[in-house]
Copies of this chain bind each other. A is one copy, B any other.
Amino acid sequence: MPTATFTNFLDRARTLSDLRAASSLLNWDQETYMPDGAAAVRAEQSATLDTLAHQMATSGEYATLLDTVREEAERGELEEWEQGVVKESYREFERSRKLPDEFVREMSRAQSVAHHAWKKGREQQDFSIFAPSLERIVALKRQAAEYYGYAENPYDALIDQYEPGMTAAELRPVFDRLREGTGVLLQKIAGFGAPPDDSVLFTDFDAEQQLAFSKSIIQQLGFDFNIGRVDLSAHPFCTSFGSSDVRLTTRIFRNDLRSCLFGLMHEAGHGMYEQGFAPQLVRTPLAQGASMGIHESQSLLWENMVGRSEEFWAWAFPQLAAAFPEQLAGLDSFGFFRSINVMKPSFIRVEADELTYNMHIILRFQIEDDLMNGRMCVADIPAVWNQKSEEYLGIVPPNDSLGCLQDIHWSFGGFGYFASYTLGKLYAAMFFNRAVEQVPDLREQLARGQFGSLLGWLRENLHQWGKAKNASQLVNDICGRPLTETDFLSHLERKIGRVYAG
């Protein structure tokens, strides 16, 4: 029996959750079906809902109620999941009231200016157009870190937004070892000579058939279309309005088979996580991923650990070949597996392969750490970027648009965000290895197109918890050891052996 105060508090939490779900639906609609001419009014509507949610989540009445349930939690009067709701609500409350209103408005204005400058700078391949507004953003983010507070590194206060509890000091040695390990693997690849031929992926594939095939695959993986759907948008994403309504989007290129297929497996990984939250978490702040990195681990586990594996294609290739018999004539499942795993340094992060991708992240992480600590100034970014790109990837971008201007994140002040992508890769490898240990014939199951055990294992160990456990708790509870890069590196070492020596 929940206490009367908690019931009252849960009511507020649910109202907040519903308001945020409505806001998410406005955003989903904007990216999928909204007519172009509605943009201006939609921006107002979204702002209104977000403002209402913010007011509700920072009101004095809410604060008083939150204090009371926190006391009840301390006195042990609440169940475990109720304690979790209170704890996460308090975390959000604390974070949201630390920034003065005037600062939030100032940040919002600076983001708007920076966004336009970034777009223009990227179009004109000229970092100097973006530099002044980026300086402003960096200054404001350093100020934000002061408002949030931190133990030793202001950057930690920003990382915390995406990875609660994670610090730069914890990431740095992991990233250093990952960089070294990646370098070793890149040299190994270079030693193999000619890479596998992947030209088959870039012929011509009917858009509708690509979509139908990709949807069929994710349905077989376990994405539940009774509580989810797939639409098209310019940039793929996953959003949900309660775990009984999870929406994925994808995009289709006729001359690149990878985009729709792997994009949708990736988003379905996010989606199955959201579909798996325990029922009592729905309409509470616990119905979220534990962290960005943990969320990303789920998309990458399905996209890469499963979807780019030799076992998976042993099962799936005949279906793909039946959908595109002409284009794939003469190819077998092993040949297809090799073609989708070519690894090679390139300029653009979002197009990078499993191996070289992390070099893009580590480079950004180091620059962000230096910027946030005042060890580097904005004007030096292009030179530092190019020098690190040369050192880590062996290539130098010919212009800033293929280098330090490629990503949107800094224009909205998303410092601390990039690290989550690589964390997702490391977590995914750790979780997958642990699943293989506990379900010994897991790889054989994948080769038979049986994904139920893996999904069930993830549901049991990870999905159901939502945000009731944080990332390090999950990793420790599941794997019995803290974050490490070794699982990921040995996964890739094995794969490289198959792909390049094959």
Contacts and interface: CB of A to CB of B under 8 A. Distances in A.
A26 to B, nearest CB: 6
A351 interface: no
Given A26-B25, A29-B25, A49-B18, A241 B41 contact: yes
A241 B44 CA distance: 11
Contacts of A41: 241-242, 244-245, 282-283
Interface stretch (A77-85, A226-234, A252-260): A226-234
Contacts of A45: 18, 21-22, 241-242
Q: Is the interface of A mostly helix, strand, loop or mixed?
A: helix
A25 B32 CA distance: 13
A495 interface: no
A97 interface: no
Contacts of A44: 14, 18, 283
Interface residues of A, number: 37
Nearest to A231: B33
A69 B14 CA distance: 34
Interface string A41-61: 110110011001000000000
A48 B15 contact: yes
5 contacts: A14-B44, A18-B45, A40-B244, A44-B283, A45-B242
A227 B26 contact: no
A231 B29 CA distance: 13
Given A48-B14, A48-B18, A49-B18, A35 B227 contact: yes
Given A35-B229, A42-B241, 15 more contacts: A18-B49, A19-B48, A22-B22, A22-B25, A22-B49, A33-B229, A33-B231, A35-B225, A35-B226, A35-B227, A35-B244, A37-B245, A38-B242, A40-B244, A42-B242
Contacts of A19: 48-49, 52
Interface string A361-384: 000000000000000000000000
A34 interface: yes
A353 interface: no
When A and B form their complex, which 8 residue pairs have the shortest distance between CB atoms, in order from nearest? A38-B245, A18-B48, A37-B227, A41-B242, A37-B226, A18-B45, A22-B22, A38-B244
Contacts of A231: 33
Contacts of A26: 22, 25
A460 B282 CA distance: 49
A244 B34 CA distance: 10
A229 B244 CA distance: 26
Contacts of A225: 35
A238 to B, nearest CB: 14
A224 interface: yes
A240 B42 CA distance: 12
A36 interface: yes
Nearest to A51: B15
Contacts of A29: 25, 29
